[in-house]
Amino acid sequence: MLRQETIVALASPEGMGAIHVIRMSGEEAIAIANECFQGTSLLDVPSHSAHYGYFVDRSNAKAIQRIDEVLITVFRSPKSFTTEDCVEISCHGSMVIAQKIINTLIQAGAVPAEAGEFTLRAFLHGRIDLTQAEAVADLIASKSEHDRTIALNQMRGGFRNQLKNLRSELVKFKALVELELDFGEEDVEFAERQDLLDLIAQIRSVIKPLAESFTLGNVIKEGLVTVIAGKPNAGKSTLLNALLRDNRAIVSNIAGTTRDTIEEVIQFEGFRLRLIDTAGLRESDDIIEQVGVAKAKEELAKAQLMLYVFDAGQESPHSVRKHVESLNHDSAVILIGNKMDECDDTEVWQEAFPESTLVSLTQEAEDGISLIQDKIIAVLQGLGDIHSDVILTNSRHVYSLKEALASMEKVEQALKLGLTGDLLSSDIQQSLNALGNITGEVTNDEVLGYIFSKFCIGK
């Protein structure tokens, strides 16, 4: 999987900008860059030093072509991201210039990098583990403040360190259990069974919260799927526009104006909210409206939060409760009573629904929107501790943690039944393998290929 050639790729986004950065890594990186550089010789310069000069094409010895003024930064092995000799070339931000530089480096001996190959080399050389490599991709793709923070914490090794400690303790116990097998005829126990049971409880207390943190982590990474639902003309589109602070949806007194779903993403308190406005939920003979209602129900089935809007002047607490319960959903619900100031008896609503789920909208729309936002924050806080050091956002990690837990449960049962050490050792190894899959210590090439193929070229 590890190629020996020196690789090169554009490290900055394609397009026009102030500068572009071309990255090169491998045994010949400095020599190749030096061949194409007109300025200080790079062969003996110290690591982490930058040098100004001209990038040149020497393919025609009679007419050396200057391509651009550049700044070349040299990183010597092992003090680089990949642990190999690396060079970064900063040039003016034209794709024509950047591509010419890359082509010239390839002619001089480099080869085009594959997707994620720089990070793959860092992983294969032991610079980072697989969780940190994945965090690099997550950090680049982060779309919210919390998303960025989680990826950065994981890249720094917080998750890796927790797994490393667990694996270390398991390896120690596995070694003691296997030592017993070597002295099988002497009926000797080197591994105290109660100590192993205590270790299992400790591992469970670490792994279980980590796996459960994925509920919050997935919302942070993908956004909270928030569906605005209710009967026709209840004020759903008005609410969407108010939350977006933009006239995104058509607002009309005519019931059934919204026929299709409208989806927008907003940044909210460091989270991403995927707001989906839907058609009014009612029986209709209009075929197009029927399709809209069907799509609304599909979105509700996938929702993590439902903002149910109703006209307080036209509904009763009983009718609202009945309609919400009839909908096929497994989401948190915030009830939004529109035109509550036109209602004769507001106390009946307050008595029927807890304060945590009901928002009363009046003509003071801004106050109502602020209350809705407070309720949304409460829903998000209920998903987990946003200030936790490690929050999982990768389903692969969760799957492996659950595998490790299942193996630990087998070990626990084997201990309670007094089963032999060889069975204990086998189950402990399964748990070690599951944890090793997360960090990449026992991950096969096919899985690695899939993970790194999702990276951008140049990273």
Widest Cα–Cα separation across the chain: 93
pLDDT tens sequence across 60-87:
777 889 999 999 999 999 999 999 999 9
Per-state percent for the chain, helix, strand, coil, to nearest 5: 50, 20, 35
More confident site: 197 or 288: 197
Please say whether the beta carbons of 327 and 230 come within 8 A: no
pLDDT at 255: 47
Please say whether the beta carbons of 232 and 255 come within 8 A: yes
Evaluate whether 138-213+391-439 and 224-381 have a shared fold.
no
pLDDT tens sequence across 399-412:
999 999 999 899 88
* pLDDT grade for 185, boundaries at 50, 70 and 90: low
pLDDT at 414: 85
* Average pLDDT value for residue range 270-286: 78
Return the closest-CA partner of residue 213 out of 409, 435, 386.
386
Q: Is domain 7-129 classified as CATH 3.40.50.300?
A: no
* Average pLDDT value for residue range 91-111: 96
pLDDT at 249: 47
pLDDT exceeds cutoff 60 at 150: yes
Q: Which of 5-9, 172-176, 282-286 has the highest mean pLDDT?
A: 5-9
Return the domain boundaries, the chain.
7-129, 138-213+391-439, 224-381
Least confident piece of the model among 4-8, 22-26, 415-419: 415-419
* pLDDT grade for 367, boundaries at 50, 70 and 90: low
* Average pLDDT value for residue range 127-134: 89
73 φ/ψ sector (left φ>0, alpha ψ -120 to 50, else beta): beta
Which 3 state secondary structure label does DSSP give 207?
helix
pLDDT exceeds cutoff 80 at 361: no
Assigned architecture for domain 138-213+391-439: Up-down Bundle (1.20)
More confident site: 280 or 252: 280
pLDDT at 155: 87
For the CA atoms of 434, 438, 439, 444, the dihedral, rounded to the nearest 10 degrees, stands at: 80
For residues 355 and 365, give the distance between their C-alpha atoms in angstroms, rounded to a whole number. 18
Tokens of 200: 């299992």
pLDDT at 426: 87
Return the closest-CA partner of residue 6 out of 26, 35, 30, 36.
26
CA 67: distance to chain centroid?
A: 39
For residues 251 and 235, give the distance between their C-alpha atoms in angstroms, rounded to a whole number. 8
* pLDDT grade for 200, boundaries at 50, 70 and 90: confident
* Average pLDDT value for residue range 446-456: 76
- 100-124 burial, b for 16+ CB within 10 Å, e for fewer? bbbebbeebebeebbbbbbbbbbbb
pLDDT at 250: 45
Tokens of 428: 């402990």
Least confident piece of the model among 21-25, 147-151, 187-191: 187-191
For residues 443 and 397, give the distance between their C-alpha atoms in angstroms, rounded to a whole number. 12
CA–CA distances in Å: residue 133 to residues 77, 158, 159, 388, 421:
19, 13, 12, 21, 36
pLDDT tens sequence across 211-257:
999 999 999 998 999 998 888 877 888 888 888 876 554 444 444 44
pLDDT at 184: 54
Fold of 224-381: Rossmann fold (3.40.50)
Distance linking the first and last C-alpha atoms of the chain: 16
Q: Which of 81-90, 129-138, 217-226, 450-459 has the highest mean pLDDT?
A: 81-90
pLDDT at 251: 46
Least confident piece of the model among 71-85, 123-137, 177-191: 177-191
Tokens of 70: 């550049």
pLDDT at 252: 45
pLDDT at 356: 66
For residues 120 and 279, give the distance between their C-alpha atoms in angstroms, rounded to a whole number. 47
Please say whether the beta carbons of 58 and 35 come within 8 A: yes
Peptide bond connecting 78 to the previous residue in cis, omega within 30 degrees of 0: yes
Q: In terms of DSSP H, where are the helices of 75-213?
A: 95-107, 117-124, 130-140, 145-155, 158-182, 193-212
For the CA atoms of 45, 51, 56, 58, the dihedral, rounded to the nearest 10 degrees, stands at: -10
Degrees (nearest 5) of the Cα angle 401, 403, 409? Answer: 105
More confident site: 232 or 126: 126
What percent of the chain has pLDDT above 70? 88
pLDDT exceeds cutoff 80 at 102: yes
Q: How many CA atoms lie within 13 A of 235 on its CB side?
A: 24
